[in-house]
Amino acid sequence: MATVGQLQKQFVDFSTSLYREFIQLQKLQDESNPDFVFEVVSLFFEDSEKLLNNLAIALQQQVVDFKQVDAHVHQFKGSSSSIGAHRVKNMCVAFRNFCEEKNLDGCLRCLQQINHEYCLVKNKLENVFRLERQILEAGGTIPLIA
Amino acid sequence: MNGIITNAETTTMQFHVLAVDDSVIDRKLIERLLKTSSYQVTVVDSGVKALEYLGLVDDEIANTNTDSNPISTIKNHHEVEVNLIITDYCMPGINGYDLLRKIKESTTLKNIPVVIMSSENIPSRINNCLEQGAEEFFLKPVKQSDVNKLKPHLMRGKGKENQPNFVVNKRKPMAECLSPDRIRTKYNYI
């Protein structure tokens, strides 16, 4: 059974590994907006899953509309960057290059990798929320990250 | 009231910012950032909706609108005072640059300060926006320190006419009304 101290350390580790954008989000949360981070992240999950689905469909078409694919990736790049999901964002950059080249194989490989990176970041974010709950339940306080 | 704005009035005035972004996440973020600075915020998800809100709709815009509800081509006369517009650059339909241009070409809206946001750091894009009259260009993700830069533009904008029904002759620009000492004191508040 982890101690509050151990839980807090895990929380800090996960949060800082998500880069400063995520920490910026945490700073915007306060008593008047206690669920702000959770709301933003939930929107991110919803939006991302929709985009990944649209990308899969777009790339399955007989004639692929690379402009449309690029538009989806551009959106995904923006949202992942705002959340601090840098690895997803970097994959989006590579993906856009393949779109420009109209390279279907390249795009499909990118989609596979982005799905993987997205799963990793989703897992990490869910862990952050789980740790927050556990810390509060154990009577501890959520560490403030500089 | 003869047009002189006192220090007490400037510090308690609430500024109204119109934010425009097609991304649901970025809309939530910018809204929160602006509210943290105690601004009143209206958020819309497209350039067309922004122009509708500002009361500037014409046939050209109505034709690019993809909503099922037809937009009235008559100017919207309800009182909406907007002190600053912050818009994303990349948006489907009317993009941020086009929106900026339309605002600057409008006699009623051209004095409203406009700020552009973009996730892409393209110098020519930035220069074009600034040349077209944008006050600032923020790279996304937008931070609190960026939003802190809006205050001076808001303070300047408040003294100018930006409503079609405003009586033009009675109010002079702030700089002409206040003595140099008052101007210095005012800016110390920022």
Of A33, A79, A81, the CB nearest to B32: A33
| Facing residue for B28 by CB, picked from A24, A40, A75 | A40
Adjacent-strand bridge partners of B183:
none
Contacts of B25 in chain A (CB under 8 A): 40, 43-44, 47, 78-79, 82-83
Whether B103 and B47 have beta carbons less than 8 Å apart is answered as no
Confidence of residue B4 (pLDDT cuts 50, 70, 90): low
Residue A101 has phi, psi (to 5 degrees) of -80, -5
B158 — pLDDT class (breaks 50, 70, 90): low
Q: Is the pLDDT of residue A41 over 60?
A: yes
Q: Output the pLDDT for position B9.
A: 46
Which helix (DSSP H) or strand (DSSP E) does residue B147 occupy?
helix B144-148
Six-digit token pair at A7?
């839980």
Write down the ipTM of this complex. Answer: 0.84
* pLDDT score, position B13: 67
Q: Identify the CA nearest to B10 among candidates B131, B177, B164, B187.
A: B187
Residue A30's SS3 state is: strand
Q: Would you place residue A20 in the very low, low, confident or very high pLDDT band (cuts 50, 70, 90)?
A: confident
Instruction: Specify the range with the lowest mean pLDDT, choosing from A110-114, B51-55, B177-181.
Output: B177-181
Is residue B14 scored above 70 in pLDDT? yes
- CA nearest B22 in A: which residue? A75
What residue spans of chain A are helical by DSSP H? Answer: 4-17, 19-27, 36-60, 66-83, 86-100, 104-137
Confidence of residue B64 (pLDDT cuts 50, 70, 90): low
Under DSSP, is residue B42 helix (H, G, I), strand (E, B) or coil?
strand
Pairwise CA distance, residues A23 & B34, whole Å = 18
Between A50-64, A105-119, B11-25, B118-132, the lowest mean confidence (pLDDT) is in: B11-25
Chain A residues whose CB is inside 8 A of the B92 CB are: 71
For residue B63, the model assigns a pLDDT of 53
For residue B141, say if its preceding peptide bond is cis, omega within 30 degrees of 0. yes
**What mean pLDDT do residues B159-186 have?**
44
- What is the number of other CB atoms lying within 10 angstroms of the CB of residue A30? 9
Is the full-model pTM beyond 0.80?
no
pLDDT greater at residue A30 or residue A18: A30
> Sorting pLDDT into bands at 50, 70 and 90, what band is A27?
confident
Q: Please tell me the distance from the alpha carbon of residue B14 to that of residue B10, in angstroms, as a whole number.
A: 9
Q: Quick one: average pLDDT of B81-99?
A: 95
- Chain centre to alpha carbon of residue A46: 11
Task: Please tell me the predicted confidence (pLDDT) of residue A11.
Answer: 86
Whole-number pLDDT of residue A146: 66
Q: In the prediction, which pLDDT does B38 show? A: 92
